[in-house]
Structure 1
């Protein structure tokens, strides 16, 4: 299977994000693939981050602009830069699994990389699982990275 585009869903959780980022380097580097980093914000989280970044309130700002300046994307981007892996930053506001699946379709992703907490099956049933929704509905293979 030829990998050209790998979608990597990043979160604000440092341990999980580092593991996901390293997996992206391990997979994309040898394949010469482009990584699309996606940070999905809740409505409230998006507004909070916009405020923290002290963006011009009159400027037109997109979720992609906010994501590109978010610390998590910058950290993962730095790791990818160091490994010589090309990447693009994307941002979205809404329900995480829906936005990951939408971008996977739009980007014609060859693989999606997601992280998770490794909850029990009962825990997933009670609380739902973003990763489970992505695993079940992605248009391409999904690599699940369990947080250390």
Structure 2
């Protein structure tokens, strides 16, 4: 099975692992020539907060989640690294539940792989706080690569 489309999920909590996420993405996308869909999912509250923080003029025009994601610092860093590696990419910023929107996006773009970051948690921590990465792995329509933060 050829890898043509990769969804790279990045969020506000990925700043410390963004380099690893991008390295892993380039390792797959480079040799296969895959297009990378960089996705930053916003809850409605996160979207509204980002609109304020990034000083969008919502009275002048409608601002999509994609527009907000393109200006997010983590997404911009990822985009720069993908450009430097000559990887074709696009940016998406769906608004809604993180897991649901990532799974929907993977289906929409017919993703062959989904990369998601996370940190190590104890079983009790997962039970109490949940695990976005675990939920995505269970619901994803394609294989998921979990990239854990460096443990230096």
TM-score range normalised by the length of the shorter chain: over 0.9
Larger strand percent = 1
Match of 1:71 in 2: 73
Alpha-carbon RMSD across the aligned residues, in angstroms, is 1.1
Match of 1:113 in 2: 115
Post-superposition Cα deviations, 1:66-98, rounded to whole Å, max 9, x if no partner, equal 101111111000000000100000001222111
Cα deviation, residue 41, structure 1: 1.3
2:125 to 105, 123, 126: 123
- In structure 1, C-alpha distance between the alignment counterparts of 2:120 and 2:8, rounded to whole Å: 18
Post-superposition Cα deviations, 1:13-62, rounded to whole Å, max 9, x if no partner, equal 31122221221111111110000010011222211211122212221110
User: Is the CA contact (8 Å cut-off) linking 1:11 and 1:17 kept in structure 2?
Assistant: no
Match of 1:101 in 2: 103
Match of 2:7 in 1: 7
Aligned length: 148
121-130 vs 3-12, greater mean Cα deviation: 121-130
Match of 2:148 in 1: 146
- In structure 2, C-alpha distance between the alignment counterparts of 1:57 and 1:84, rounded to whole Å: 34
Detail structure 1 runs of 4+ shifted over 4 Å in the superposition. none
TM-score (norm 1): 0.95
User: Is the CA contact (8 Å cut-off) linking 1:5 and 1:110 kept in structure 2?
Assistant: yes
- In structure 2, C-alpha distance between the alignment counterparts of 1:57 and 1:2, rounded to whole Å: 41
- In structure 1, C-alpha distance between the alignment counterparts of 2:135 and 2:48, rounded to whole Å: 26
Name stretches of at least 5 consecutive residues in structure 2 with no aligned partner. Answer: none
- SS where residue 104 of structure 1 aligns? helix
1:91 to 79, 90, 93: 93
Name stretches of at least 5 consecutive residues in structure 1 with no aligned partner. Answer: none
- SS where residue 94 of structure 2 aligns? strand
1:23 aligns with 2:15: no
